[in-house]
């Protein structure tokens, strides 16, 4: 009995460490989203470069989390429910890393857009989308920490709002391109940025779904159609 308690305590300590890394990683990704949007709006290439550099830290954290999770599985032989926790950690860290990549991609395009004339208030629309995505991410992480199924469900529901914001911006970009062909290049870059943010919402939704699975053992039913109405090619 004492040995089992020792093993359980060791597992709990290991899990606390890896979950602390998840929280750290999540905070860096939240900051990356907001700073990438700010660099676009203010045309701040130095800030954009800061976002790109910070992505290396996010990538390193994901690698560390995967190594820690693999070590826990190998050394602690977790039970079914504990294994579910570890696998959730791995999936959430992968989603965070991908969101960080999208923030980095936004920052890369900022450097190009800074050399072009602004297109109306498109940067403001991008900022509002980024804020929505960042809030979804923050709530998805909070839901994970607190094992809060209702909050996770709210994150999933709010993805439709982000899709609608993206659709509205997409229509604006089409209008700007039709009105003045000189806007085409800038609007294409802006469209890719908006699409990156829309995909961030998808990843936040995946994290929220993982929380529900972690708590209930069941995946939520996906009955909600995507509200993305566009068909332009996007970044791979």
Average pLDDT over residues 53-79: 88
| 94's tokens | 């992968």
> Tens digits of per-residue pLDDT, 179-228?
999 889 999 999 999 999 999 999 999 999 999 999 988 877 765 555 55
What's the pLDDT at 23?
Answer: 93
CA distance 162 to 154: 13
> Tens digits of per-residue pLDDT, 107-154?
999 888 888 888 887 888 899 999 999 999 999 999 999 999 999 999
What's the pLDDT at 82?
Answer: 78
What's the pLDDT at 87?
Answer: 87
Average pLDDT over residues 9-34: 89
Q: Looking at residue 115, what DSSP letter applies?
A: T
CA distance 184 to 179: 10
Any idea which architecture 2-216 has in CATH?
Up-down Bundle (1.20)
Distance of CA 173 to the CA centre of its chain: 24
């Amino acid at each position: 009995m004492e040995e089992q308690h020792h093993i359980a305590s060791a597992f709990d300590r290991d899990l606390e460490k890896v979950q602390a890394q998840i929280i750290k990683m999540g905070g860096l990704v939240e900051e990356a989203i907001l700073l990438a949007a700010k660099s676009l709006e203010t045309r701040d290439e130095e800030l954009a470069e800061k976002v790109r550099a910070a992505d290396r830290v996010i990538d390193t954290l994901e690698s560390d989390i995967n190594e820690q999770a693999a070590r826990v599985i190998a050394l602690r032989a977790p039970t079914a429910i504990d294994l579910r926790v570890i696998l959730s950690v791995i999936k959430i860290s992968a989603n965070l890393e991908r969101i960080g990549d999208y923030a980095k991609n936004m920052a890369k395009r900022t450097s190009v857009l800074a050399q072009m004339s602004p297109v109306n208030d498109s940067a403001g629309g991008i900022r509002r989308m980024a804020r929505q995505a960042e809030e979804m991410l923050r709530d998805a992480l909070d839901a994970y920490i607190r094992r809060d199924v209702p909050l996770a469900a709210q994150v999933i529901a709010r993805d439709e709002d982000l899709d609608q914001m993206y659709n509205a911006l997409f229509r604006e970009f089409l209008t700007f391109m039709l009105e003045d062909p000189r806007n085409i290049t800038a609007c294409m870059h802006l469209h890719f940025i908006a699409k990156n943010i829309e995909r961030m919402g998808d990843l936040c939704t995946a994290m929220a779904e993982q929380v529900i699975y972690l708590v209930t053992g069941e995946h939520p039913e996906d009955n909600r159609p995507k509200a993305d109405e566009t068909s332009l090619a996007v970044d791979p």
